[in-house]
Structure 1
Amino acid sequence: MNTDTLGFCDLGCRYASWPKKDGMDGSGSCRTFAALYCSLKDRPVHKNMPCRDRQERDPEKDSR
């Protein structure tokens, strides 16, 4: 992937992980918000949103 192109937020990114809190949208249901936690931005972000900071996860070094 060219570094000038736009990536999308998903668990393939080294900065992404599941948020520790379920039901973040107030519904109390699991994963309704479809959010991921971004350690680079230090906040929850919408899963599959465009992201210029996405970096591919290194499976040997990074863990979810």
Structure 2
Amino acid sequence: MRWCDLSCPEAGFPKENAVDGAGSCRTFAALYCAKLGRLVAKNAPCAVEAMARGAKGKDSGDKGRTA
């Protein structure tokens, strides 16, 4: 499992000011993910991997089930 932090080559500092609401320099709660093209939670499990796992689960889990 990968984690969303600055060691990821897809991660970068957010371009928006005050992403965390503090308006302070480099105290941030989100990173910009170049692969997803959006902000993601810093230090969380990789959102790209989580989306890939979710897509696999949707394809295999509930076939034949009706609501």
User: Normalised by the shorter chain, which TM-score bucket?
Assistant: 0.5 to 0.7
Q: Which has the higher helix share?
A: 2
Offset at residue 28 of structure 1 (A): 4.0
- Provide the aligned length of Structure 1 versus Structure 2: 49
Q: Which has the higher contact order (CA 8 A, sep 6+)?
A: 1
Q: 1:49/1:42 Cα in 2 relative to 1: closer, same or farther (>3 Å)?
A: same
- RMSD over aligned CA atoms reads 2.0
Partner of 1:36: 31
Q: Which has the higher strand share?
A: 1
Which structure 2 segments of 5+ residues have no match? Answer: 50-67
More displaced stretch, 39-48 vs 22-31: 22-31
Distance in 2 separating the partners of 1:52 and 1:26: 22
Report the TM-score when normalising by structure 1. 0.59
Question: How much identity, in percent, do the aligned residues show?
Answer: 53
Which structure 1 segments of 5+ residues have no match? Answer: 1-5, 55-64
Distance in 2 separating the partners of 1:8 and 1:48: 6
Q: Which has the larger Rg?
A: 2
- Runs of 4+ in structure 1 displaced over 3 angstroms? 25-33
